[in-house]
Amino acid sequence: MVKKQKDATTQQRILEAARKVFIEKGMAGARMQDIADEAGINKALLHYYFTSKDMLFEQIFQQASARFIPHINEVIESDVSLLEKIEHICVNYVTLIMSKPFMPLFILNEVHKQPEAFLQRMWGGQKPKLHKLAEQIEHEVKRGTIKPIHPMHLFMNIMSLSIFPFLAKPMLQYMSKMSDKAYWQLMEERKELVSKFIIDSIRK
Amino acid sequence: MVKKQKDATTQQRILEAARKVFIEKGMAGARMQDIADEAGINKALLHYYFTSKDMLFEQIFQQASARFIPHINEVIESDVSLLEKIEHICVNYVTLIMSKPFMPLFILNEVHKQPEAFLQRMWGGQKPKLHKLAEQIEHEVKRGTIKPIHPMHLFMNIMSLSIFPFLAKPMLQYMSKMSDKAYWQLMEERKELVSKFIIDSIRK
DNA sequence: GTCTATATTCCGATAGAC
DNA sequence: GTCTATCGGAATATAGAC
């Protein structure tokens, strides 16, 4: 009568294996056999739990991306200064990505393959309200507290500096000959630094 | 006796079609049928010119990435000030990517799948000499002409601000509801702006 | 060189025993 | 629930006529 609790269920093992393989090879490159091997079972059992590869991918993707998207609207709509918002967003991004460093490339790829469908599913009604942030930026520009800048450039800068170093990690590591540990240390510093760069670049 | 010159040869048409399809769908997602259709021929002829899909991909990849990598070493080793180098690198990157906007994602993906093999082939002995740039950065920091910064962070910032907006174009466009034309206009401005951001962020 | 037709391989999915 | 064996379709690759 006592159910096993300590071991992961087969279903959980499949989901974990699938996430790993899909993220590593993408939807097109992943093989059901790879996933079965990774989970320590056989292909037939995959189809017993998840009818098709598409279904399985859907599951993985939904779950992964839903948990991944930061609650950027909460920050945007919060009642704090622009500079504080920038700081929050940067720290949130870098921290989040450090916990799932492969997600950005995964998401970029799927968006690239079918932008509309993907992005709608991804945000489901809570798309970042960029215009609100833009208004605040323009307001500060008019007040003369920061340098003139197109809000989109500022937002691009925030995302670029936070996300790109993870996308390009293999390349940057290859170029610099840094160890994993050293690279990670750099990313740890970056949590604080990114917003500093941004703020220095718009401060008068 | 007169060879046709004005029309592209079949081989050229295949290469062009293959580049388009591979860059759009990646190695795993691309189908030989797609390439044949794009080139206006049939599959058999593909194999007549290029024995296998792997061979064809190799060709495309070599050529595309070789032409794509900017001659960053020339800039690094040139005899100008650090700030001028930064400006050159940024302008070069943005200009280059504007001409081939899908290359960054393509390269990032292939690097991700097999980092070592890929990167070695990509640079073949002319890997960017980051350490030389790093020395110059550290020198300027010591002289007190710029704020203290880890050279890697500075280099990451340069690449991030130049490349990421192209990687994330579909997403950023979706969020901002910008037209293609407006987005392109923004990228045009960015050629100049990126180095300004960088320089503002390290200037004392 | 280019085509049609066909062989071969790979992979997602199912049948059926235990 | 889990396995082995196998089907069926899709994709790569080849044979052979023109």
pLDDT of residue B66: 83
Rg of chain B's alpha carbons, rounded to an integer?
20
Residues of A in contact with B152 (CB under 8 A): 172, 176, 178, 186
- B186 has a pLDDT exceeding 60: yes
- B4 has a pLDDT exceeding 70: no
- A29 has a pLDDT exceeding 60: yes
pLDDT of residue A71: 83
Which residue's entry shows tokens 């293959």? B18
Calculate the angstrom distance between C1' of C14 and CA of A5: 32
Picking from A94, A135, A156, A189 by the largest number of B CB atoms within 10 A of its own CB, the best residue to mutate is A156
For residue A166, give every residue at least 6 positions away whose Cβ sits within 8 Å of its Cβ, in sequence order, or none. Answer: A97, A98, A101, A104, A187
Higher-confidence position of B123 and B63: B63
User: Which of A33, A11, A35 minimizes the C-alpha distance to A23?
Assistant: A35
Within an 8 Å CB–CB cutoff, is residue B85 touching chain A?
A: no
Q: Give the residue ranges of DSSP H helices in A50-168.
A: 53-68, 72-77, 82-99, 103-113, 115-123, 130-143, 151-167
Confidence of residue A177 (pLDDT cuts 50, 70, 90): very high
Residues β-bridged to residue A146: A203
Q: What is the pLDDT of residues A141-153, one digit of tens each?
A: 999 999 999 999 9
Q: What is the pLDDT of residues B112-150, one digit of tens each?
A: 988 888 788 787 778 889 999 999 999 999 999 999 999
Task: Out of A153, A156, A186, name the one closest to residue B153 (CB).
Answer: A186
Q: Distance of CA B86 to CAs A158, A168, A204, B151, B194, Å?
A: 19, 19, 21, 12, 9
Q: Distance of CA B45 to CAs A106, A188, B20, B35, B39, Å?
A: 34, 53, 18, 11, 10
Q: Which structural domains are found in chain B, ordered by start? A: 1-51 (1.10.10.60), 61-202 (1.10.357.10)
User: Which of A163, A66, A183 minimizes the C-alpha distance to A108?
Assistant: A163
pLDDT of residue A5: 42
pLDDT of residue A126: 80
Tell me how far apart the alpha carbons of residues A48 and A39 are, in angstroms, rounded to a whole number.
14
Question: Are the C-beta atoms of B190 and B94 separated by less than 8 Å?
Answer: yes
For residue B189, give every residue at least 6 positions away whose Cβ sits within 8 Å of its Cβ, in sequence order, or none. Answer: A150, A153
Percent of chain A beyond pLDDT 90? 80
Q: What is the pLDDT of residues B69-101, one digit of tens each?
A: 778 899 999 999 999 999 999 999 999 999 999
pLDDT of residue B98: 97
